[in-house]
Structure 1
């Protein structure tokens, strides 16, 4: 029978070409190794090693056997590594700093899926303005920062950056809801509720509006993304956001997102950052990968949505 100890013996003898040298490396009596190999050869009915005047070498059967042994030992090491990862994952704590607007449509999906697989992981989420996210990660108050258009900083490393184009957001019954795409010039008659001045997305909107010479007189301006979405749900008011802002409501049929596809549309980048001087551990890296995966699904890199899962 090829048990784990015998596999180590055969592998080491094959590597060194010597039972004596293998015994020295494994701190085992050479007679014990030789005895077990001979017993296995008798059980197999074929020689594994050819005995030479100086050492041993593998027979053709031995070559096949060692190939199997090394593959088995590699699989075993990988399994032990994965078991160790699972133990670590279950005990870990992850702190994320992000925008309020990203908690419902991005973080909630990732956290919910993550918890189903790793129920003992503890996740802390703190919402704050965009400019505060980078500072919180830089100070070490959060391991990960998730936000839009965070400028590069020397003390931060960008884990991922996904472009998210702007689109018109309306209720499903709105006259424009059935359109596959729109141009800015087609939005002249819309009643708009827009993000407030000073927000990054509003700056992008103002630039696009200016370039297209579109006249927009918003009936509501607010820094609350939730209010903008609610207004769009309740009537024929339209707003302009990214798909990341409305993904959950879009999936459940409460809102429609129509990409604005002309060259003046503008886009935001959904960015994940961490502190350069504090490299991410395996658990936090895996969580960040799940965030980045969802960002790609709802960003420009993947126009079609897929169900999100962790594992």
Structure 2
């Protein structure tokens, strides 16, 4: 069985190519190291070192073992660093400003996963309109802002940016749900419920519909993304959102997102921003990377 002391012995002997030199570096008797290695080889049933006149060299089995040992040591070091972060950053808090529509579908997943690793870090999520997100992040009242289509001149640093194209959103039992993609014309046999006309989503959709020379009279219009999703879950209607808007329901099997393949599909830009002068600790940066990873997963 490999224990921590034997791991160190084998790794150092492999690096030095000599039991004697490894013993000198570790300040351990060479006979003690040799005895433990021989006992391990007998237990393994294979030699891990080939004994040479002037040292030792790894056998094929030894090379496999040492690769495993070094990976284990790296994993241990990474784990200890992360544990150290948790121990020394007990009062760390991370504040995120985001759109209401993204709290469940993007933030909930990231926060839940992050808190399993950093249970002592407090996450504050504040839902607000896009212009307010820019204001609070620029003013230092939030560490990160997550939203769609921020103005280009915000004075903020972009941590991640992904394009999120529109798609048809239907319930899993809907005839369109199993398709890999659809054209807008494929959806015309079904009633629509749509975002309100003052929402960017609707404006992108209307532009796409005009280019496709399609006219749609929705059964319902609303500025509530949650209401659109609930309505779709209850009836064979179609709405138009991005995957970021429905990721949580999609993962749970409550909704299906079917990308449009029309030539001029509208898209929103999902962006993660922070202040230009912000300096973050390791835990906060890890949270930012988790946000970016999920953004890229749900983007185009």
TM-score by length of 2: 0.73
For the Cα contact (< 8 Å) 1:90–1:118, is it kept in 2? no
Alignment match, 1:105:
105
Q: Which residue of 1 aligns with 2:202?
A: 202
Higher alpha-carbon deviation: 129-138 or 80-89: 80-89
* CA offset digits 1:165-193 (Å, max 9, x no partner): 11101112222222221012222333111
1:98-152 alpha-carbon deviations (Å, 9 max, x no partner): 0111111111111111112211110111000112111110111100001112122
Instruction: Report the CA distance shift for 1:218/1:290 in structure 2 as closer, same or farther (over 3 A).
Output: same
Instruction: Out of 204-213 and 98-107, give the one that drifted further.
Output: 204-213
Cα offsets for 1:221-269 (capped at 9, x unmatched):
1111000001111112210001111111112221111110122112112
The 8 Å contact of residues 155 and 277 in structure 1, kept in 2 or not, is answered as no
Separation in 2 of the partners of 1:150 and 1:196? 20
Residue matched to 1:230? 230
Match of 1:173, SS state, is coil
Tell me if structure 1 keeps the 8 A contact 2:86–2:120. Answer: no
Superimposed CA distance per residue, residues 58-102 of structure 1 (whole angstroms, 9 cap, x where no aligned partner): xx97xxxxxxxxx9xx97987764443232454310000001111
How do 1:49-128 and structure 2 match up within 5 A? 81-128=81-128
Q: How many equivalent residue pairs?
A: 250
SS at 2:261's partner residue?
coil
| Cα distance, 1:187–1:79 mapped onto 2, change above 3 Å | closer
SS in 1 for 2:238: strand
| Structure 2 equivalent of residue 295 of structure 1 | 295
Match of 2:103, SS state, is helix
Aligned pairs (5 A) from 1:134-213: 134-213=134-213
CA RMSD of aligned residues (A): 3.4
Partner of 1:16: none
Larger Rg: 1
Q: Does 1:273 align with 2:273?
A: yes
Indicate how the Cα distance of structure 1 residues 40 and 206 shifts in structure 2: closer, same or farther if over 3 A, else same.
closer
Superposition map of 1:20-59 within 5 A: 43-44=29-30
Give the unaligned 5+ runs of structure 1: 4-36, 46-59, 62-70, 301-311
Q: Give unmatched runs, 5+ long, in structure 2.
A: 6-23, 32-53, 56-69
> Following the alignment from structure 1 to structure 2, what is the Cα–Cα distance between the partners of residues 84 and 38?
28
Q: From the superposition, tell whether residues 294 and 38 of structure 1 become closer, same or farther in structure 2 (CA, over 3 Å).
A: closer
Cα contact 1:164–1:268 (8 A) shared by 2: yes
- Sort the Cα spacing of 1:211 and 1:278 in 2 relative to 1 into closer, same or farther, 3 A: same
